[in-house]
Amino acid sequence: MNNHLLQFVASMTICESDIRKIQANLTIAEAAVNPLKNMLITPLFANKGSMRFMESMAQEGSNIFFDSGGYYVQIGRMRYEELYMPLLQTYIANPWASVYTLPDHVPTTQDSVERVAQKIHDTINYGTLFYQEMPDDLKPRAMPVVQGHNIGQVDACLNGFIKLGVKYLGFGSFGTSGKNAEINIATSRSVELAKYVIEVAHAHDIKVHIFGLGTPALVAMLKGIGADSFDSSSWLKAAGFGQVFLPFMRAYNISHNSTVSELQKGITFEQFREWAQLTHHTCRFCEDMPELQIRKMYRAVHNLITIVETVETINNGNYDHIREIYHRGSPKYRQEFEKWLQPN
């Protein structure tokens, strides 16, 4: 079992006014945790207001992760080659972030073998060149991203990046689904690759960040493979679909009592309250279920608090409690505790 602390990084894919609404709603929720301690933003696609807000949060002590925008290349918003110079200029102009992600070319499940190989080559070569062009004071905060669909490709990235002397590595090669391959899914093969990357990186005193994967039900896996941090916008996306989280559980739809779709599986107020009690989750928004049902921002903030509570519970080593939640929760995740957190 891993004794390191896992960190959650809230992915902020929203405008400044929405970030401020979230901040205000966190105050209303009277949360015992601080979900805005670590945040991720993509500076190339963020407006000036969002960047000013993030800089002020950094000055107040939050850790701000800069994402490269590789996701926007992945979904076809821009070409990989168009990323390099604007990203470098943006990083130089904003020297206040805690982590700077190097430009990576994300392979998708739909890519041919040749295309994946080319993307790995791009990730290593352009990532290395980008690192060398960064100002010296930013280099200790640089985070190259390991990509690859097999051990050989992953090793090529590790060999290329470890010799740079970086303190952070990212891993983003999960299976993808969705119309534009925009949804990361934790396939067994990608989880094994992530675990391998973490083992090699930790042997070199390098921390590993897992990109774009982070529902509460997967936190046992993230802790179990030894990840140091992970980011996710699942809390916001789920809220948009009318879904709510509870610690260590899958998302359930609360705005429509749908029992037809597995994705949109509904939950009654009674069942929600029972599980909230089981998971020891409390926030002001849960006290007014009809409001939680109709207000997306309430659901978003509730979900955000829930992920942080999940991480704190696992970092505190409350394993008997975690085992009970998994065993009484979703059948799909019932074995997660034994799979990832069973003491050796």
The tens-digit pLDDT sequence of the chain (344 residues) is 456 899 999 999 888 888 999 999 999 998 889 999 999 999 999 999 999 999 999 999 999 999 999 878 888 888 888 999 999 999 999 999 999 999 999 887 788 999 999 999 999 999 999 999 999 999 999 999 999 889 999 999 999 999 999 999 999 866 544 444 444 455 678 889 999 999 999 999 999 999 988 789 999 999 999 999 999 999 999 999 999 999 999 888 987 654 445 555 678 888 888 999 999 998 899 888 888 999 999 999 999 999 999 999 999 999 999 999 998 887 788 888 888 887 65
The hierarchical CATH code for the domain 7-239 is: 3.20.20.105
pLDDT of 64 reads 98
- Which of 344, 327, 4 lies closest to 336, judged by CA? 327
> E strands along the chain, which residues?
7-11, 38-41, 63-66, 99-101, 142-143, 145-146, 168-171, 175-177, 183-185, 207-210, 229-232, 243-244, 252-253
Domain with CATH 3.20.20.105 in the chain: 7-239
The string over 201-225, giving b where at least 16 C-beta atoms fall within 10 Å of a residue's C-beta and e elsewhere, is beeeebbbbbbbbbbbbbbbbbbbb
Please report which residue ranges of 231-318 form alpha helices under DSSP H: 234-240, 269-279, 289-294, 296-315
pLDDT of 185 reads 52
pLDDT of 182 reads 42
Q: Distance between CA 225 and CA 194 in Å, rounded? A: 8
User: Would you say 299 and 242 are in contact if contact means Cβ atoms under 8 Å apart?
Assistant: yes
